[in-house]
């Protein structure tokens, strides 16, 4: 058993998960003078979205919602960091408790509700971060994930996403439209292609307006709970609209096949489930998408990636890039290094 496993089982599981997250993130940021520059590991760069990623593995949105620890996370070994989800207006998110562990399943349930400082505050923070890195030679690819403010009605969603895109696209290496979180009422309805198409068009136009000299790649993040037909419909929309990529997948509302006792699952309540229970479905969605879109569209595989074998299978299914979150939480700060080295060494 690894030292982190002992710490996790004997100590971290006894403390509220959100408190642990805040404490761990403070430690990651404080460790930058020790961890130093972005970790260099044996790996082959990946060309995707018109960018050169140092390796396939990145950190999924949700860990650094407010762009306060990008350098610390990159120093742990992530080749790209996706911040957010950021909304047009700042909001506190859902009432606590809103983050739960299902340790028997190596899973997490969250109903955070897009708690974040809002696009204006995050944009100022990213501007300062970009300025601080002007002389840096470290390669950190920054993704910015945007979502809908909770109080904004569905019919005004495009305006809300446009606001975030206008403020944040100037600092993003790529931009992600999140319409798949289960924790904002009505958000997943925007995955329907008749609603998603005009939304993506609006975000694309706004990003182009604020970056006329550079086209910021645009992706959409979808849920694993879509039917196969709906997954294929999103794939067709991505091709027709000139989208640059798809992130598959977000968390699930399903509770099927869990090892955790049903009464515990019921007590935890609503929210998006992430971790090992997503492995099979997320892999299936990536495979469906790749078969539909061909070789040119970038696919980012996320959901249930814990081991090197998980990562390798997701790449074999058709993902160009990978992201993790729950695996990082359960496996600890050395996890990204193990995955990247394992992929590079073929072990």
85 is in an annotated binding site: yes
245 is in an annotated binding site: no
The values of phi and psi at residue 144, to 5°, are -125, 120
Q: Select from 277, 251, 249, 339 the least CA-distant residue to 104.
A: 277
272 is in an annotated binding site: no
110 is in an annotated binding site: yes
62 is in an annotated binding site: yes
116 is in an annotated binding site: no
145 is in an annotated binding site: yes
61 is in an annotated binding site: yes
Catalytic pick among 43, 164, 180, 181: 181
Largest distance between two CA atoms of the chain: 55
Radius of gyration in angstroms for the set of CA atoms belonging to the chain, rounded to a whole number: 19
Query: Alpha-carbon distance 273 to 252, whole Å?
Result: 5
Tell me whether residue 269 is exposed, middle or buried, using C-beta atoms within 10 angstroms of its C-beta: 0 to 12, 13 to 18, 19 or more.
Answer: exposed
Residue showing tokens 């968390």: 251
CA 147 to chain centre: 12
115 is in an annotated binding site: no
DSSP one-letter code for 39: P
114 is in an annotated binding site: yes
CA contacts within 13 A on the Cβ side of 175? 31
Query: Alpha-carbon distance 244 to 315, whole Å?
Result: 18
Q: Is 181 a catalytic residue?
A: yes
325 is in an annotated binding site: yes
Residue showing tokens 């992430």: 274
| Alpha-carbon distances of 209 from 103, 120, 172, rounded to whole Å | 46, 17, 14
251 is in an annotated binding site: yes
Q: Annotated binding site for FMN, which residues?
A: 61-65, 85, 145, 178, 221, 249, 275, 304, 325-326
Q: Annotated binding site for substrate, which residues?
A: 65, 110-114, 178, 183, 250-251
Which residues are marked as active site?
A: 181
């Amino acid at each position: 058993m690894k030292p982190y496993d002992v710490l996790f089982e004997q100590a971290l599981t006894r403390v509220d998960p959100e408190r642990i997250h805040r404490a761990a993130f403070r430690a990651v940021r404080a460790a930058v003078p020790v961890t130093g520059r972005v970790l260099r590991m044996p790996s082959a760069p990946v060309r995707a979205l018109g960018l050169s990623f140092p390796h396939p593995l990145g950190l999924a949105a949700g860990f650094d919602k407010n762009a306060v620890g990008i350098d610390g996370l990159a120093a742990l070994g992530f080749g790209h960091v996706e911040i957010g989800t950021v909304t047009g207006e700042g909001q506190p998110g859902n009432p606590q408790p809103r983050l739960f562990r299902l340790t028997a399943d190596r899973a997490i349930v969250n109903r955070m509700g897009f708690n974040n400082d809002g696009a204006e505050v995050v944009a100022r923070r990213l501007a300062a971060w970009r300025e601080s890195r002007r002389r840096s030679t470290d390669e950190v690819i920054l993704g910015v994930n945007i979502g809908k403010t909770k109080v904004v009605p569905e019919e005004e969603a495009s305006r809300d996403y446009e606001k975030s895109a206008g403020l944040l696209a100037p600092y993003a290496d790529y931009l992600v439209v999140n319409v798949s979180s289960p924790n904002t009422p009505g958000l997943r309805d925007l995955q329907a292609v008749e609603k998603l198409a005009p939304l993506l068009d609006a975000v694309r136009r706004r990003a182009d307006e604020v970056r006329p000299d550079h086209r910021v790649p645009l992706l959409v993040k979808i849920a694993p709970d879509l039917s196969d037909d709906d997954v294929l419909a999103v794939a067709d929309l991505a091709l027709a609209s000139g989208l640059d990529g798809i992130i598959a997948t977000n968390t699930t509302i399903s509770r099927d096949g869990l090892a955790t006792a049903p009464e515990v699952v019921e007590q935890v309540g609503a929210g998006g489930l992430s971790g090992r229970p997503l492995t099979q479905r997320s892999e299936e969605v990536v495979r469906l998408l790749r078969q539909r879109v061909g070789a040119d569209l970038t696919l980012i595989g996320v959901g249930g990636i814990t081991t090197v074998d998980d990562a390798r299978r997701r790449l074999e299914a058709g993902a160009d890039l990978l992201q993790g979150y729950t695996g990082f939480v359960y496996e600890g700060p050395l996890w990204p290094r193990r995955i990247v080295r394992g992929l590079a060494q073929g072990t």
